Structure 1
Amino acid sequence: MARKQSSTSPDVYVLELDGMQQSAVDLSDPTRLSFDYMRRIAALIDALPGGRLPQERLAVLHVGGAAMNLPRYVHVRRPGSSQIVLEPNAQVVEQVRAEAPLPPRSGIKVRTVDGATGIGTVREDSLDLVVLDAFDGAQVPVDLTGAEFLGHVVRVLAPGGVFVANLTDRAPFTLVRDVVAGLEALSSTVDGWAPRIAVGAETSTFKAKRPGNVLVAAGALPDEPFGRFSPGEYRVLTGTAVRDSFGGGRPRP
């Protein structure tokens, strides 16, 4: 079910699926993001240098779309960017198009196909950024965390490109460990793939107090991949700290 808030925030479009809020888009200002993890990804987008396109435009693939929060953000912050969204739920796509249409000439192309299938049709070395933010219920689909999908991610990224995944996990972070292991394993099989890896989450999630959104980013990352923040609010690990805290995983098939 999708609905539009009309009491306190009349311009915020809320998309609900399976009783859970999936997206909340401020149609008057798409740079105002309601979810903390999206603000962290937005900080990464803002920190990326100009991509393969001129004037700091980016070529982006979004695996998972919902109400298109991040594609709308990129459209405003990096005008003229080329974006592809893979969203398999055709009903959601049609409903969002009718109730919260994308801006005209946005450069956002929406394909109603699942991420594992859709990424296989994307050209090699063609993207600056791949964003994985897809869920089946409350879980990331298993075919978007294994070696085949991650191999496609590395294939489609141009030199200097970046991958970021929004994962839901909790201590002992089995999913995060396996995705980190999968990304590291590719460095031994893919020429030129020697990524810097960062893992970010709210401090309460790191401390095992509750499950939460954990961001895993890999590639040519900026020095502060998820922006500046108070350590009591958010934590980011990079380099050997990632291996120390999130090592021991096994790449998924």
Structure 2
Amino acid sequence: MTSHEFLPGAQRSAQLSFSDQPAWIVKDEVVGGWVLQIGGVEQSHVDLEDPTRLVHEYLRRMGNVLDAAWPAGQPLRIAHLGAGALTLARYVQATRPGSEQVVIEIERELPTLVTTALPMPEGTRLEVVIGDAREELAAMTGRRFDALVLDVFSGEESPAHLATEDFYLEALDHLEPDGLLLVNVGDDAGQRFLRRQVRALEDAAARAGLSGVWTLTLASLLTAPADGNMVLIAGGALSSPEVDTWRAAWEKAGPHPGAVLDPTETAEAFGR
């Protein structure tokens, strides 16, 4: 092993035991920074020099949600279900130093690969839990978070036991009364999986006595469905009298052209 392989940002790889896929950290020659690839598909982008730079548009929207819903700089307790390259965890540390974060990741080798090749910002307080997201979250009896980020869904190949109303209800139960659940849903042009997730989250929120589901996405996906990602959000925070102010901030922050749908608009867009 040569000395450069120990340097932050050096290209590295690992074989993932759960999915039996190769994972690579490679330099992004187009926009700069580094990319996590799994099975040859880009999963995450990291800018070591500027962790607040979120290249993937759905992550930028998630960052915008967190930015508006709590005072700037206030540390948060956040759980990330699905690690990727820990891009959003890096963002939270950079914008809210002192935040307590936990990540649940089923691929045992992935967090080590990521944090070795792409070290976390100084001072990051990150607990890594290896295992199934639903099982490990259930084991955190009585533990509550300000925000819970679910980033494991990719259309019909998503883990079936996570794509359910009951799991959403379990996740909502781990939030503080003014907390937020943020869900990234990737789907193909048919949006069948997305529609099922909207309905499941709506039903879970109703059972929890919460208001409905908000949606943040690329505006064109609502009028000309194509492959893409949408961010669904639910939780007690959305009952805040500040939610209209937050909506204006989310719309202004983009990425553009973006769309922000309230619960009524979400229900209308996805068949309820």
In the alignment, structure 1 residue 85 sits paired with structure 2 residue 108:
no
Q: Could you say if the C-alpha distance between residues 167 and 8 of structure 1 is closer, same or farther in structure 2, counting changes exceeding 3 Å?
A: closer
The 5 A counterparts of 1:31-180 are 31-50=52-71, 56-124=74-142, 126-135=144-153, 139-170=157-188, 172-180=190-198
Segments of 4+ in structure 1 off by > 6 A? none
Task: Give the Å deviation of 1:229.
Answer: 5.4
Aligned residues: 242
Task: Give the Å deviation of 1:7.
Answer: 5.2
Task: Give the Å deviation of 1:103.
Answer: 3.1
TM-score (norm: length of structure 1):
0.85
> Which segments of 5 or more consecutive residues in structure 2 lack a partner in the other structure?
1-22
Q: Alignment partner for residue 47 of structure 2, among 15, 22, 26?
A: 26
> Which segments of 5 or more consecutive residues in structure 1 lack a partner in the other structure?
249-253
Q: Which residue of structure 1 aligns with residue 259 of structure 2? A: 235
TM-score (norm: length of structure 2):
0.79
Q: Alignment partner for residue 271 of structure 2, among 244, 247, 251?
A: 247
Alpha-carbon distance between aligned partners in 2 of 1:9 and 1:176, rounded to the nearest angstrom: 29
In the alignment, structure 1 residue 181 sits paired with structure 2 residue 199:
yes
Contact 2:205 2:234 in 1 (8 A): no
Q: Which residue of structure 1 aligns with residue 16 of structure 2? A: none
Alpha-carbon distance between aligned partners in 2 of 1:167 and 1:21, rounded to the nearest angstrom: 16
Task: Give the Å deviation of 1:150.
Answer: 0.7
Q: Could you say if the C-alpha distance between residues 151 and 233 of structure 1 is closer, same or farther in structure 2, counting changes exceeding 3 Å?
A: same
Contact 1:43 1:227 in 2 (8 A): no
Deviations along 1:171-192, one digit per CA (max 9) or x if unpaired, are 55322322222223234533xx
Alpha-carbon distance between aligned partners in 2 of 1:176 and 1:6, rounded to the nearest angstrom: 29
Q: Alignment partner for residue 214 of structure 2, among 198, 210, 228?
A: 198
Task: Report the aligned-residue RMSD.
Answer: 2.6
Task: Give the Å deviation of 1:209.
Answer: 4.2
Alpha-carbon distance between aligned partners in 2 of 1:118 and 1:233, rounded to the nearest angstrom: 37
Contact 1:124 1:155 in 2 (8 A): no
Deviations along 1:44-88, one digit per CA (max 9) or x if unpaired, are 01012259xxx7211101011111000000001111111111111
Alpha-carbon distance between aligned partners in 1 of 2:269 and 2:255, rounded to the nearest angstrom: 17
Task: Give the Å deviation of 1:247.
Answer: 3.2
Q: Is the deviation greater in 28-37 or in 128-137?
A: 128-137
Contact 1:125 1:158 in 2 (8 A): no
Q: Which residue of structure 1 aligns with residue 26 of structure 2? A: 4
User: Which amino acid letter does the alignment assign opposite residue 183 of structure 1?
Assistant: L
Q: Alignment partner for residue 218 of structure 1, among 228, 234, 245?
A: 234
Alpha-carbon distance between aligned partners in 1 of 2:28 and 2:45, rounded to the nearest angstrom: 13
Task: Give the Å deviation of 1:35.
Answer: 0.6
Contact 1:40 1:227 in 2 (8 A): no
Q: Is the deviation greater in 229-238 or in 118-127?
A: 229-238
Partner SS state of residue 143, structure 1: coil
User: Which amino acid letter does the alignment assign opposite residue 31 of structure 1?
Assistant: T
Task: Give the Å deviation of 1:16.
Answer: 0.3
Partner SS state of residue 173, structure 2: helix
Q: Could you say if the C-alpha distance between residues 64 and 232 of structure 1 is closer, same or farther in structure 2, counting changes exceeding 3 Å?
A: closer
Percent sequence identity is: 30
Indicate the structure with greater helix content: 2
Alpha-carbon distance between aligned partners in 1 of 2:31 and 2:198, rounded to the nearest angstrom: 38
Task: Give the Å deviation of 1:19.
Answer: 1.2
Alpha-carbon distance between aligned partners in 2 of 1:238 and 1:247, rounded to the nearest angstrom: 14
